[in-house]
């Protein structure tokens, strides 16, 4: 095909033709891909939630494919959903016809109590729930029903901040006796040093396996400490861990909580904060107020319901330091800004929406 002189010269002067060919192929492929993106648009299109003024970076992008992918738990919840039976008057009540009826549910009709009981057993993965009065699960279940009704009735500003979503047993349990996303107090993970508990630089689940303080959830979701960061002043008087002021240590503890928030909801800082003024409460987003209510709500849940119920739990349900499993943002949200991707879980379960008489819409 080629002249003899060329074949002779090629044999006597071998060259690496693969390297240039590969380089040309890579460049050509990149040009082709760029041309296709310009012509047809990128296949992994994104959508964004704007959380603040335009031009300030206050938006949260997500792939549309991810937004369209349903949480597998939604299907499980919908499978256990049935329409309530609207009372007509004169029906037999659960308190008169059934045993071990939880407080607050005695006046339900037998039909609505039975459907709710079947759903709660499915939601919690406890098939004999409320059958055995000696079971700790029955005793704890009584407390949890009151907690669920309180959430729906008194914390609407957080639970239904964007639309009606509500809370049922399934929100946290999702078919398991012990919900995922619970946490225990790790205690002092090392000796106290330099006037500040050395609860840092130790990988623990509570600190999201970072070097941030492991005491943040206990401080903010149980003890109700105010969230604050270090003052803008270069020097602030006080002893860390003793004097109540916005120290660097408090700021690090706050960052640990914020990191927990971000992981729990699958969001970043600008969902709540203005990126140009994190420290300015006048420039936060509406979601900041929702998060504040959520923190206050979790404090109440842990102190009023969950921790007192710890006396009912067997030792096998307690943490390594003997404390009860506690709730946090992850317990409900499980990586979504709204639990179960904003599915309305309370619409068909008015019995759990209030401590008063259920509203069946009749």
The band of 16, judged by pLDDT with boundaries at 50, 70 and 90, is: low
> Do 204 and 315 belong together in one domain?
yes
Domain that holds residue 266: 184-333
The count of domains in the chain is 2
> What is the percent of the chain where pLDDT is above 90?
46
| pTM, two decimal places | 0.80
Q: Are residues 279 and 328 in the same domain?
A: yes
Which neighbouring-strand residues pair with 62? 47
Is residue 95 located within the same domain as residue 173? yes
Residue 70 lies in a domain: no
> How far is residue 112's CA from residue 141's CA, in Å, rounded to a whole number?
18
Q: Are residues 211 and 320 in the same domain?
A: yes
CB-based contact 321:187 (threshold 8 Å): yes
Residue with tokens 């259920």: 358
Asked, for residue 60, whether it belongs to a domain, the answer is no
Domain membership of residue 50 (yes or no) is no
Mean pLDDT rounded to a whole number for the chain: 85
Q: Strand ranges (DSSP E) for the chain?
A: 46-50, 59-63
Same domain flag for 211 and 96: no
Residue 35 lies in a domain: no
Same domain, 261 and 167: no
133-161 average pLDDT score: 94
Judgement on whether residues 225 and 317 belong to the same structural domain of the protein: yes
Same-domain status, 99 and 236: no
Answer yes or no: do 190 and 169 share one domain: no
Residue 94 within any structural domain of the chain:
yes
Q: Within this chain, do residues 166 and 203 fall inside the same structural domain, yes or no? A: no
Q: Write the CATH number for 213.
A: 1.10.468.10
pLDDT band at 54 (very low <50, low <70, confident <90, very high): low
Residue 61 burial (CB count, 10 A): 9
Q: What are the DSSP E strand ranges found in 43-114?
A: 46-50, 59-63
Indicate if 212 and 282 belong to the same structural domain: yes
> Per-residue pLDDT tens for 238-281?
776 677 777 777 888 899 999 999 999 988 888 898 877 887 88
């Amino acid at each position: 095909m080629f002249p003899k002189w060329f074949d002779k010269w090629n044999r006597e002067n071998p060259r690496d033709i693969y390297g240039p060919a590969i380089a040309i192929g890579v460049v050509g492929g990149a040009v082709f891909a760029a041309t296709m993106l310009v012509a047809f648009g990128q296949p992994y299109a994104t959508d964004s939630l704007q959380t603040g003024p335009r031009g300030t970076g206050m938006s949260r992008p997500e792939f549309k494919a991810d937004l369209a992918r349903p949480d597998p738990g939604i299907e499980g919840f919908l499978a256990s959903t049935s329409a309530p039976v609207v009372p007509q008057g004169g029906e037999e009540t659960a308190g008169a016809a059934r045993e071990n009826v939880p407080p607050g549910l005695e006046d339900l009709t037998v039909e609505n109590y039975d459907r709710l009981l079947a759903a709660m057993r499915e939601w919690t993965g406890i098939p004999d729930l409320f059958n055995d009065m000696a079971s700790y699960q029955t005793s704890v279940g009584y407390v949890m029903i009151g907690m669920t009704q309180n959430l729906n009735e008194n914390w609407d500003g957080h639970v239904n901040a964007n639309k009606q979503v509500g809370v049922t047993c399934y929100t946290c349990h999702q078919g398991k006796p012990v919900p995922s996303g619970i946490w225990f107090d790790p205690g002092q993970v090392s000796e106290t040093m330099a006037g500040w508990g050395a609860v840092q630089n130790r990988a623990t689940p509570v600190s999201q396996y970072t070097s941030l303080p492991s005491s943040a959830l206990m401080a903010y979701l149980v003890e109700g400490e105010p969230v604050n960061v270090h003052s803008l002043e270069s020097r602030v008087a006080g002893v860390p861990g003793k004097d109540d002021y916005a120290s660097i240590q408090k700021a690090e503890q706050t960052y640990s909580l914020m990191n927990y928030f971000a992981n729990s909801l699958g969001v970043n800082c600008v969902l709540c904060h203005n990126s140009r003024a994190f420290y300015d409460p006048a420039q936060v987003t509406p979601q900041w107020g929702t998060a504040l209510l959520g923190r206050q709500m979790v404090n109440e849940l842990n102190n009023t319901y969950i921790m007192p119920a710890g006396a009912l739990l067997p030792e096998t349900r307690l943490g390594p330091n003997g404390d009860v499993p506690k709730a946090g943002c992850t317990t409900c949200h499980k990586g979504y800004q709204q639990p179960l991707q904003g599915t309305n879980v309370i619409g068909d379960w008015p019995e759990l929406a209030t401590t008063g008489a259920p509203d069946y819409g009749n």
